[in-house]
Amino acid sequence: MRVENLNHQALLVMEAEGGLIHFAAQRAILLDAVAMDVLRKYLAANFGLTAARTVLTQFAFAGERLASAKEIYVLERHRGGKDDAASRLSSGVREARGDEQAEKLLFFEATQLEACLEKSPQRMTESLEVAGRKLRDHRRAWVRLAPDRDEALGIVAKSVAMRRLVDLAYRVAKVDSTVLIRGESGSGKERIARLLHEGSSRATGPFVAVNCGAITESLLEAELFGHARGAFTGATHDRPGLFEAAQHGTLLLDEVGEVSPGMQVKLLRALQEREVRRVGENKNRKVDVRIVAATNRDLAHGVAGGNFRQDLYYRLKVVELHVPALRERREDILPLAYALLAEAALRMKRPIFALAPGVAAQLLGYPWPGNVRKL
């Protein structure tokens, strides 16, 4: 049956007196999207992605009551955007589906959820209780000490410079482009990268970060692209790289300015072709990853000096965001200090106190060469 042939007014019954909603003769309720997002994140954090996907899949289809004795499965083929009329779905009975759909169909099975929960139900319950207590404690602390902090993102933006950056980052997040984030060490580049991920269509996917400057060239290639068994000493099994680990999500290449010239060539190819080749293999693997790069260097000077490839620079700098140093956004110093004080008080289980006037004056008068990290 096609959507345009349905008479939704005939199917939808709303009882104003009792506040009840019925759709197609079934009792229905309205669920807030924000509440569902909170549920999704809690399930993923405490039960794992597999169990979370299983719970939400079965929850979505729990209302289906079909006359046929055969089980019907509906799978999403294309996720509609805001300008699309509808998403594209396909349906059919289990017997008609091939082996390639077996993994997806597992999420419809009650046994899949039981297998996840049987692993450690007591640990999961305790984890949820601890998470709930921490959330309540954090909320009380933030309300008292850090009312200006954005709880969802952990970003304090009272200054004009930071408000402009956060606003621009929110808009850029919706566009699936490669982003280069510049800023001094400790200024909060990774926090902005996480904002880009959480505000994007890839928010349900993984966010993976790697510090390119902390890994040697030979190890960085295996870390990013993965390796095959026997590719080098100690490679006892096949291992996917971080590009594959970030599939359908976001990969943050932190300190990308430290990448060697040889590795820059391989990285450029991965970005251009959207595919990687594991070390020791001769086949390419397609990847669907959004790249966010961060650096405390001026890559334009690196290009001029011959230390950084120009083609890679322009490939990374599709959109550029600059995180101002803390000394350039002094309005954020005290709100940040209060947020960090609340965090420390909770961690050390100490009573929470305000900052003394003398301490506040010293914080405001210091140049903060190490930025937020030093604070």
Q: What is the reported pLDDT for 65?
A: 44
CATH 1.10.8 segments of the chain: 120-156+325-375
The Cα–Cα gap between 288 and 99 comes to 23
Q: Are the C-beta atoms of 63 and 26 separated by less than 8 Å?
A: yes
pLDDT in tens, the chain (375 residues): 455 555 666 667 877 777 788 776 677 787 777 677 778 877 776 666 667 777 777 676 665 544 445 566 666 665 555 555 555 666 666 555 555 555 556 666 656 555 555 554 555 555 556 655 655 555 555 555 555 555 445 688 899 999 999 999 999 999 999 999 999 999 999 999 999 999 999 999 999 999 999 998 888 999 999 999 888 888 888 899 999 999 999 999 999 999 999 999 999 999 999 999 999 988 999 999 999 999 999 999 999 999 999 999 999 999 999 999 999 999 999 999 988 888 888 888 888 777 888 899 999 999 999 999 999
**Sequence-distant (≥ 6) Cβ neighbours of residue 313 within 8 angstroms:** 299, 300, 302, 303
Q: What is the pTM of this model?
A: 0.61
CATH 3.40.50.300 segments of the chain: 160-323
What's CA 265's distance to the chain center, in Å? 27
Domain 120-156+325-375, CATH: 1.10.8
The Cα–Cα gap between 297 and 182 comes to 7
- Residue pLDDT, tens place only, 263-279: 999 999 999 999 999 99
3.40.50.300, 3.30.429.10, 3.90.1200.10, 3.30.750.24: CATH of 160-323: 3.40.50.300
| Nearest one of 292, 87, 83, 267 to 190, comparing CA atoms | 292
**Rounded to the nearest 10 degrees, how much is the dihedral formed by the CA atoms of 273, 203, 174, 180?**
-60
- Residue pLDDT, tens place only, 61-75: 665 544 445 566 666
